[in-house]
Structure 1
Amino acid sequence: MTRLSLNRLRLYGALASMINAATAICAVFVLSATPTSAAERATVLALGDSLVAGYGLPKEESFPAVLEAELKALGHDVRVINGGVSGDTSKAGLSRVDWLFAEKPDLMLLELGANDGLRGLPPEDTERNLAQIIEKSQAAGVPVLLTGMLAPPNMGRDYGEAFNALYPRLAEKYGTAFYPFFLDGVAAEPELNQGDGMHPNAAGVEIIARRIAPSVIDALAAGTGS
């Protein structure tokens, strides 16, 4: 082999090394710019009654859909599963919670008890049912964001005090994240509710989602240790 051929081979080798290095650098930039995959997306299970299910509203205006949009607007890629069933009591929610864990949520937002209060069910029963739901969730490794509810005023003072107190007591006992009143800012506001005066309209749902979103973000961060 001539000296000229040897020099050409060395030059080609150097060029090949430079191309490989450039390719590797480009690959790093491409990977770093790739959006978060679905597998990395956080998932929130919203377990509740008609307030979660979206009674009287199209799917895109239901609480889970609006909360998901709000979280994304705040820069958090979170999927929110609609685990609401209209008419559910805390006992009904307890009866179906196990199979919902198949979705492998990173957080459970627990909104139940409104129908217990409307029906005048014993607060101790509501507390026991919610406690079992929390215990099942924690046993499955799913942290809980418990949302409180207030008893209807027509149930009387004693009932109201017993009912209203069970939520903060559960949050303290189990160390869960706690949002004191799910309907904060919306309850008893005619312009934010449907004709029945109990279920939020689209504007009401937007307020609920906007107010609770920071608590969801904090609960997710605490649950993942981030």
Structure 2
Amino acid sequence: MLIERRPVYGLVLFLACLLMLSAVRNGYADRPVPLKIVAFGTSLTARGGWQPALETELATCLQKPVKIESVAKSGETSLWALTQIDRVVAEQPDIILIELYANDATLHRFVSLAQSRKNIGDILDQLQQRLPQARIIVMAMNPFSGLRGLIRPFVDSYVSAHEAEAQKRGLEFVDHRPNWERLTPDDLATAIPDGVHPLPDIASKIIAPELVKRIAGNNCGE
């Protein structure tokens, strides 16, 4: 005995159409997928305060939502960062922004230049392997001064080592220091009162536009 199935199929199709129509009416079908960014670093990220400005400016430029999550901790080095790769991967980011040299370069953290270079190389290798579609950008942040600068006498060598490891893997490197150094000495001292951590509002004005330019390229008007 044959069972008539057509009415059942028709009902299923009708319900599917209703669900699709409801989704369109509620805007779900038209909502763009957000661009997901992970900022991976030290206190220059954890306390940086530049992420909201980057979200806003990049979203305006690209005409799509942008969401930035931070995997960052004050006072930590690239040794700590090696233990945080699972957290970065779990976010499934489209872009990863990395700054991990600043505390490696402090004399009292005892992370040698060779060890720092090996660590960032291992971090980049793991991220490339586990997130092959992600765009990875290694960064140099602001200059240091005062006591915070004195305890980092070879910081430029650490920056160069991280840059070299990025370039070896065909990854991008963004150096924010020249933009900071365009400020007058007095303005720079005001912007970075403790010699290492910029005021968030000024960091936003210097770091966010540079990253928008790098990430969006010519897709954003001047």
| TM-score, scaled relative to structure 2 | 0.69
* CA deviations over 1:136-183 (Å, ceiling 9, x no partner): 1101123311113588664687x45632321231122110011124x4
Alignment of structure 1 residues 1-226 onto 2, 5 Å: 35-37=30-32, 40-54=33-47, 62-74=49-61, 75-119=63-107, 121-140=111-130, 141=132, 142-148=134-140, 154=150, 159-160=154-155, 162-181=157-176, 183-186=177-180, 189-193=188-192, 195-206=193-204, 207-218=206-217
SS in structure 1 at match of 2:105: helix
SS in structure 1 at match of 2:97: strand
Distance 2:99 2:40 in 1: 6
SS in structure 2 at match of 1:125: helix
Question: 1:96 Cα deviation (Å)?
Answer: 1.0
SS in structure 2 at match of 1:185: helix
Pair member with larger Rg: 1
Relative to structure 1, the CA distance from residue 155 to residue 82 in structure 2 (aligned partners, 3 Å threshold; closer, same or farther) is closer
Question: 1:73 Cα deviation (Å)?
Answer: 2.7
* CA deviations over 1:176-217 (Å, ceiling 9, x no partner): 011124x44336612222x31210102322121122222233
Contact 2:40/2:99, CA 8 A, preserved across alignment: yes
* CA deviations over 1:28-74 (Å, ceiling 9, x no partner): xx79x86434xx2110111011111126xxxxxx2222211121232
Q: Report the residue type matching 1:170 in the other structure.
A: E
Question: 1:110 Cα deviation (Å)?
Answer: 0.8
- Residue 17 of structure 1 aligns with which residue? none
Distance 1:201 1:91 in 2: 27
Question: 1:102 Cα deviation (Å)?
Answer: 1.0
Contact 1:151/1:160, CA 8 A, preserved across alignment: no
Contact 2:139/2:173, CA 8 A, preserved across alignment: yes
- Residue 3 of structure 2 aligns with which residue? none
Please provide the CA RMSD for this pair. Answer: 2.8
Q: Any stretches of 5+ residues in structure 1 without a counterpart?
A: 1-26, 56-61, 219-226
Aligned residues: 178
Distance 1:64 1:217 in 2: 16
Q: Report the residue type matching 2:103 in the other structure.
A: N
Distance 1:151 1:123 in 2: 18
More helix by share: 1
Distance 2:152 2:68 in 1: 36
Contact 1:44/1:81, CA 8 A, preserved across alignment: yes
* CA deviations over 1:90-128 (Å, ceiling 9, x no partner): 111111112321111111111111011123631111111
SS in structure 2 at match of 1:216: helix
Distance 2:215 2:137 in 1: 7
- Highest relative contact order (Cα 8 Å, sep 6+), 1 or 2? 2
Relative to structure 1, the CA distance from residue 137 to residue 162 in structure 2 (aligned partners, 3 Å threshold; closer, same or farther) is same
SS in structure 2 at match of 1:200: coil
Contact 1:50/1:86, CA 8 A, preserved across alignment: yes
How many percent of aligned residue pairs carry the same amino acid? Answer: 24
Distance 2:172 2:160 in 1: 16
* CA deviations over 1:65-93 (Å, ceiling 9, x no partner): 22111212323422111122111211111
Which ranges of 4 or more aligned residues in structure 1 deviate by more than 6 Å?
Answer: none
| TM-score, scaled relative to structure 1 | 0.68
